[in-house]
Structure 1
Amino acid sequence: MEPIVHDLRLSETISPYGVGAVVDVRGESLIAPDTSWWDPKRAPVIACARLSAKLRGADLRQPPTHAGRAAKETTSLLYFRFPEWRFCERCTKLSKLTGKSRGHWTNKCDCGGTLVPMRYVAVCEGGSHLQDIPWFMWAHRGNDAGVTETVRHCRAFKELKFVRSSRYGEGLASLRVVCNGCKRDRPLSDLVSKDALRRDSIRCEGTQPWEDENTGDPCNRPLKAVQRGATGNYIAERLSALDIPEEVPQSVEKRDEIRSHDYFKRVVADNGGPQSDMVAGWIADELEVSKDEVLRLAAGDEDPDRETDDAPLLELKDGEWAAFLKKLDGGRDHSGGDFIVDGWQARSAAAWPSALTSRLAAVGQVRRVREVRALKGFRRHNAEAEFISADLRSGTGRKLVYPAVETFGEGIFLRFDEERLTEWENQPEVRARAGILIDRRERSPWATRLDVPEPRYIALHTIAHLLIRRLAFASGYSSASLQERVYAHTDRPDRTAGILIYTAAGDAQGTLGGLVRLGEPGRILPLMLAALGDADVCSNDPVCIESDRQGASQLNLSACHGCVLVSETSCETANRLLDRQLVLGSANVRGLLDDVLDQARRTAAV
């Protein structure tokens, strides 16, 4: 395997062509090795204390880049050829050999034809390993009558060809690997049947394609032949954080106030006695908190709801939520830096339907925000397979290095009224409908990668998608350029209820303001009404609105490509956990914004 220099966008080195991904570039098939292959002198460190802390102090490094034309000494990112087996489109010769011309590696056969990578590779079903199919071995195996002693002992390694034969019809049966030495002929249809590679005694090598052979641990999991471009071959795990001044959540501020109260020591000293209960009541009345919270702090149970090891993304969002709340209360932001948000109260927009402004508490025009995205690693074949770190030196005692990129952009932040949201989500029919997705998530292999679909999350997530689709028409950005960040959790010390829709580019100058301008009162509210109008009738209705089994793993209810779904790169959950009924309502359930359109239409008619 040899290094090959090609041009990729910087953001593509994180997703979709990050460590472990197979990428087709200029007719060649390549794969990116882990960060242990990087030259640290050519991979600059990206500073983001919040994200680095969640990755246990790992280094965040930007992949090596260059500007202009690539030359021999140009800083670059290493990729390897994969699969190594290729066939010539002219003479159909199948081999692992790579041609050379004037001392340079080429992708040409000796006959002058272009070498084309084989369509199928072997993926480990549980270990996330990937390897070439040993085509010469496979061609001379099998249980049919064609496997004679001559075939078994054939050594014509340079006589293998990959041909299409119309005698066998269409499909995989017409694609055949032929050995001109022993005349063995085997169709690719033998490759894709269940346990096909196991029957041919082809075992998992326990390595990734860029690792040396015989360096991996023994792996007894079965191999499966898959197309090299299959989506399941690479399931990346990424983590992103907004680079914001870390604010203390309101719950933490309240706990600090309780501890600093003059009477708190008396509660602790009494250790659950009758005096502690009375004094705790005095503190609770004065600070406007619950007596139970005072007693819990006195007993030493500071925060029973927070799960720091299992919810790193939620912890990141806790700090972001606190920072947004502080900005929303500040009006016009003159602070400067990489986090600039102008806030205004939705209730001040009296000209718009009160059904909307009473539920939408505040809007923030995010004029500048810096986001850092890191690639933790990947899985192959399915979500339950073994996790492979982006740095295979894990366990060596050295500090891990994760690929990361920084982007600068703009956006719109919407905060919803907590009281109205809580009143709505406590209705039995609302909780019952959300419970459908909660149960399916628990049974899904994606459970650990998805937020708990409580009612507020489903509703706000769906609203975010509707707005992305509508903003794409008005902002000048494509919908694939817009991204969401949903803050909707009740199991945190500070309940969250908001969404951020933003766009970011890997340029220090950021973006051009086309999105943040739409956050003004006279623009965002009409856009929300238009987005709700778009979702009121789907082109797939009544099938869509009556369905409760849509999407991957049936993790969507009334949501399809005709009304709600957006690009998977724009969505936190890859287009899962969506439902129009929890936004607009139906005969069986009340939606969070079910009366907004009716009120708007009545006002327009008057």
Structure 2
Amino acid sequence: MINHKTTNIPLRRAELITPFGVGAISTNNEGVNLMTGALDQWFTGKNVDKSEFSIKEPRLSKVLGVKEFRLPPDYRTSLGNTEKRNTEMKIPMLLFPTWFYCNRCRKMEKLNPAEISNKKNCKYCSNGHLVQVPFVVVCRKGHIDDFPWKEWVHSSLAPSCTAPIKLISTGGATLTSMRIECTSPSCLASRSLKGITTKFENNDSPLFSKIEDGEKYYCTGRKHWYGTIETSHENCKEKPFVLLKNSNNVYYPSVISALYLPGDYSNELEKTISFFKNDLILNEIEILQANISNETVAKILKEKFPIDLEFAEENVIIKALELIHEETKEMEEDQYENILRVMRYQEYCSLIDEKKDEDLRVLSEFNINYDKSPFYQYGLQKIHLVPKLRDTRILYGFQRLNSNHSLNRTSIKNGKSLLFKKPDAPSNNWLPGYTVYGEGIFFEFDKKLLDSWEEKQCVKKHFTAMESRYKQVLLNGIIEERELSPRFVLLHTLAHVLISEMIFECGYSSSALRERIYVSKQTDSEMNGFLIYTASGDSEGTLGGLVRLGQTQNLIQILQKGIEKARWCSSDPVCTDIGIQSGQGIHSLNVAACHNCGYLPETSCEEFNMFLDRSLLVGTPNNPEIGFFGKVI
């Protein structure tokens, strides 16, 4: 990878996880689009000490099968830096798309991916400036490449003409007004761009089937973020699709997050585990555990580190060895099937009771068993204030075209092979991530009320339409499978309604608040609640405004206002009617929810603004009984 040129891009470290992680397109200060390079080159600089960027989250380490997580490096100049540590570290970036056209003569030119600095002048005319083309080509395996401009205009997979080409626009707003022309007097080939972004019913694309009669254009297997070397191409027989470079489906980051959970360990056990997690000691423990019992390992360690383990009895050391072994042991394939639900249930169990840990504080504001505030009318069982929490978010891959983020050993391996050029190298046993320290409000609803509401025939009938559309999309492999139910849609929509109302009072922006849905009807992990918490801790942290809104006198008003506003959308009756008839939003998986009433910024919603329906909160004019809060209204 050529990396001797630099450019300034206004990105925060968290944005290098999502939405501008490895393989994503961002824009520098000159308006030029660049692609984030592979992780192999992220920690190259002077006097690099990677331990400074290390993040520990045992649950996620075990699930993703890596040793550690790291914060993206921040740039520090070596000039005037007294420490002289971790300086001159830069994130690798490559120019993409690499095709440009002149804003005057319209001739096109392909540049070197390493030309990442300033805007370029046209080499064909004296006054023109080069402008990046708006299209890219992607496939389902994550590959991305430039649109084959010369092949398209010459209707050939291997054109012999080498003359410059032009991108001509007649000034219209559609692709029909754009065409490519060859400047060779002996060729004069010309072809319109009409329909190049179309997706046919048989899942074909014009690029795949219409470049040359009788021939197919397959994906080039280009991994542009790898760099300019030959290994950035691989064999691929996927059908390529043309997208606008700023389309949402060009890049779907695969991100997993987990809240910090306090362990029920004694101080001695905590200190012992912390001591054993030193890299050198941990390696020695792994070697010993492979050959002898934990009892023998404990005696050896006690003799070898008498001062460091002076406080720990032998049974404490054995327990610490067992816990560390469990953390580092590779997960079985069948364990991945329900791992996300299991992790959510662990968090749920920590949130439903009061806690006063260093990184997780949970305080009770309402409990139906002890309090008689108006919350019981809304079916609430508990409301807990969370003045402090820690959320760790890790990038483990990405996808293009579809966002089916199923979590299993195969998806984790494929994701890592996209992020690293050499994913199996011992030095690449890590993934990028960041930690949020924030605050939140946790809501738990009455199970019996939810059960009786779901059993209503009108609710079942209303929900059937969304459920059938979901099953069809799932059958096509477009999204991941989840436990979908009326209560999930109800609580998900209510979380959106409350966030939209809270932003006017708490001092956070809508993109700084985030939802975390805890819903399951499984007997071993039953959950009926959600958490609203701050999501941008690297810039805003814990301001206290959200927890203040969770106090009874404030929250009851927000709840009342939110539910009242959910009765009507500024696009009604169209919003509700279209949603009921055919669905709306991504994959038609929403009912009464649109940009004017139910949507949040995509960074705030776990489901990318899918599975929303105001009707399940407040009912419809023709069917008020389906609303869970109908009686309250």
TM bucket, shorter chain: 0.7 to 0.9
Q: What does 1:326-365 correspond to in 2, within 5 Å?
A: 326-327=353-354, 335-347=356-368, 350=372, 352=374, 354-356=376-378, 359-365=379-385
**Paired residue type of 1:107:** K
| Secondary structure in structure 2 of the residue aligned to 1:579 | coil
Which residue of structure 2 aligns with residue 186 of structure 1?
Answer: 190
The runs of 5 or more residues in structure 1 that have no matched partner are 144-150, 249-305, 598-606
The answer as to 2:470 corresponding to 1:441 is yes
Which residue of structure 2 aligns with residue 381 of structure 1?
Answer: 401
| Secondary structure in structure 2 of the residue aligned to 1:474 | coil
The answer as to 2:73 corresponding to 1:64 is yes
Kept in 2: contact 1:247–1:319 (CA 8 A): no
Which residue of structure 2 aligns with residue 140 of structure 1?
Answer: 154
| Secondary structure in structure 1 of the residue aligned to 2:55 | coil
Q: Following the alignment from structure 2 to structure 1, what is the Cα–Cα distance between the partners of residues 34 and 487?
A: 43
Which residue of structure 1 aligns with residue 246 of structure 2?
Answer: 229
Which residue, 108, 111, 129 being the options, matches 1:114?
129
Q: Following the alignment from structure 2 to structure 1, what is the Cα–Cα distance between the partners of residues 178 and 595?
A: 36
Q: Following the alignment from structure 2 to structure 1, what is the Cα–Cα distance between the partners of residues 173 and 340?
A: 52
Kept in 2: contact 1:90–1:113 (CA 8 A): yes
Q: What does 1:367-378 correspond to in 2, within 5 Å?
A: 367-378=387-398
Kept in 2: contact 1:373–1:405 (CA 8 A): yes
Q: Following the alignment from structure 1 to structure 2, what is the Cα–Cα distance between the partners of residues 68 and 507?
A: 21
Which residue of structure 1 aligns with residue 57 of structure 2?
Answer: 48
What's the CA shift string for 1:378-405, capped at 9, x where partnerless? 1212346996445345773645432211
The answer as to 2:592 corresponding to 1:558 is yes
Q: CA deviation at 1:579?
A: 1.7
Which residue of structure 1 aligns with residue 517 of structure 2?
Answer: 486
Which residue of structure 1 aligns with residue 260 of structure 2?
Answer: 243
Query: Higher Cα Rg: structure 1 or 2?
Result: 1
The answer as to 2:529 corresponding to 1:498 is yes
Which residue of structure 2 aligns with residue 591 of structure 1?
Answer: 627
Q: CA deviation at 1:342?
A: 1.5
Which residue of structure 1 aligns with residue 272 of structure 2?
Answer: none
The answer as to 2:167 corresponding to 1:162 is yes
Kept in 2: contact 1:583–1:594 (CA 8 A): yes
Which residue, 16, 19, 28 being the options, matches 2:19?
16
Q: CA deviation at 1:119?
A: 1.6
The answer as to 2:238 corresponding to 1:204 is no
| Secondary structure in structure 1 of the residue aligned to 2:54 | coil
Which residue of structure 2 aligns with residue 424 of structure 1?
Answer: 453
What's the CA shift string for 1:479-520, capped at 9, x where partnerless? 222110011111251311111101133439822111111011
What's the CA shift string for 1:276-309, capped at 9, x where partnerless? xxxxxxxxxxxxxxxxxxxxxxxxxxxxxx9631
Which residue of structure 2 aligns with residue 396 of structure 1?
Answer: 424
| Secondary structure in structure 1 of the residue aligned to 2:101 | strand
What's the CA shift string for 1:139-162, capped at 9, x where partnerless? 33359xxxxxxx964334xx3443
How many pairs are equivalent?
Answer: 520
The answer as to 2:231 corresponding to 1:195 is no
Q: Following the alignment from structure 1 to structure 2, what is the Cα–Cα distance between the partners of residues 362 and 550?
A: 33
Kept in 1: contact 2:119–2:129 (CA 8 A): no
Q: CA deviation at 1:10?
A: 1.4
Q: What does 1:220-369 correspond to in 2, within 5 Å?
A: 220-246=237-263, 308-327=335-354, 335-347=356-368, 350=372, 352=374, 354-356=376-378, 359-369=379-389
| Secondary structure in structure 1 of the residue aligned to 2:238 | coil
> Against the structure 1 CA distance between its residues 581 and 175, is the aligned structure 2 distance closer, same or farther, given a 3 Å change threshold?
same
**Paired residue type of 1:154:** C
> Against the structure 1 CA distance between its residues 318 and 525, is the aligned structure 2 distance closer, same or farther, given a 3 Å change threshold?
same
Kept in 2: contact 1:140–1:184 (CA 8 A): no
Which residue of structure 2 aligns with residue 603 of structure 1?
Answer: none
Q: Following the alignment from structure 2 to structure 1, what is the Cα–Cα distance between the partners of residues 563 and 545?
A: 21
| Greater Cα shift, 578-587 or 524-533 | 578-587
Q: Following the alignment from structure 1 to structure 2, what is the Cα–Cα distance between the partners of residues 326 and 155?
A: 71
Q: Following the alignment from structure 1 to structure 2, what is the Cα–Cα distance between the partners of residues 574 and 526?
A: 28
Kept in 1: contact 2:37–2:94 (CA 8 A): yes
Q: Following the alignment from structure 2 to structure 1, what is the Cα–Cα distance between the partners of residues 535 and 456?
A: 38
Kept in 2: contact 1:50–1:243 (CA 8 A): no
The answer as to 2:108 corresponding to 1:94 is yes
Kept in 2: contact 1:490–1:496 (CA 8 A): yes
Q: Following the alignment from structure 1 to structure 2, what is the Cα–Cα distance between the partners of residues 33 and 384?
A: 23
Q: Following the alignment from structure 1 to structure 2, what is the Cα–Cα distance between the partners of residues 67 and 412?
A: 37
The answer as to 2:92 corresponding to 1:81 is no
| Secondary structure in structure 2 of the residue aligned to 1:505 | coil
> Against the structure 1 CA distance between its residues 375 and 492, is the aligned structure 2 distance closer, same or farther, given a 3 Å change threshold?
farther
> Against the structure 1 CA distance between its residues 95 and 448, is the aligned structure 2 distance closer, same or farther, given a 3 Å change threshold?
closer
**Paired residue type of 2:400:** R
Which residue, 478, 488, 497 being the options, matches 1:466?
497
What's the CA shift string for 1:536-566, capped at 9, x where partnerless? 2222333334442222222112222333222
Which residue of structure 2 aligns with residue 533 of structure 1?
Answer: 564
Kept in 2: contact 1:377–1:388 (CA 8 A): yes
Q: Following the alignment from structure 1 to structure 2, what is the Cα–Cα distance between the partners of residues 315 and 36?
A: 32
Q: CA deviation at 1:321?
A: 0.6
Kept in 2: contact 1:391–1:401 (CA 8 A): no
Q: Following the alignment from structure 1 to structure 2, what is the Cα–Cα distance between the partners of residues 336 and 579?
A: 37
Q: TM-score, normalised by structure 2?
A: 0.74
Kept in 2: contact 1:2–1:81 (CA 8 A): no
Which residue of structure 2 aligns with residue 254 of structure 1?
Answer: none
The answer as to 2:488 corresponding to 1:457 is yes
Which residue of structure 1 aligns with residue 288 of structure 2?
Answer: none
Q: CA deviation at 1:240?
A: 0.8
> Against the structure 1 CA distance between its residues 341 and 430, is the aligned structure 2 distance closer, same or farther, given a 3 Å change threshold?
same
**Paired residue type of 2:340:** L
Which residue, 563, 567, 575 being the options, matches 2:609?
575
Q: Following the alignment from structure 1 to structure 2, what is the Cα–Cα distance between the partners of residues 473 and 319?
A: 32
**Paired residue type of 2:562:** A
Kept in 2: contact 1:173–1:187 (CA 8 A): no
> Against the structure 1 CA distance between its residues 344 and 247, is the aligned structure 2 distance closer, same or farther, given a 3 Å change threshold?
farther
> Against the structure 1 CA distance between its residues 52 and 195, is the aligned structure 2 distance closer, same or farther, given a 3 Å change threshold?
same
Kept in 1: contact 2:175–2:194 (CA 8 A): no
Q: CA deviation at 1:535?
A: 0.7
Q: Percent identity?
A: 28
The runs of 5 or more residues in structure 2 that have no matched partner are 81-85, 199-204, 266-332, 406-410
Q: CA deviation at 1:417?
A: 1.9
| Secondary structure in structure 2 of the residue aligned to 1:326 | coil
**Paired residue type of 2:8:** H
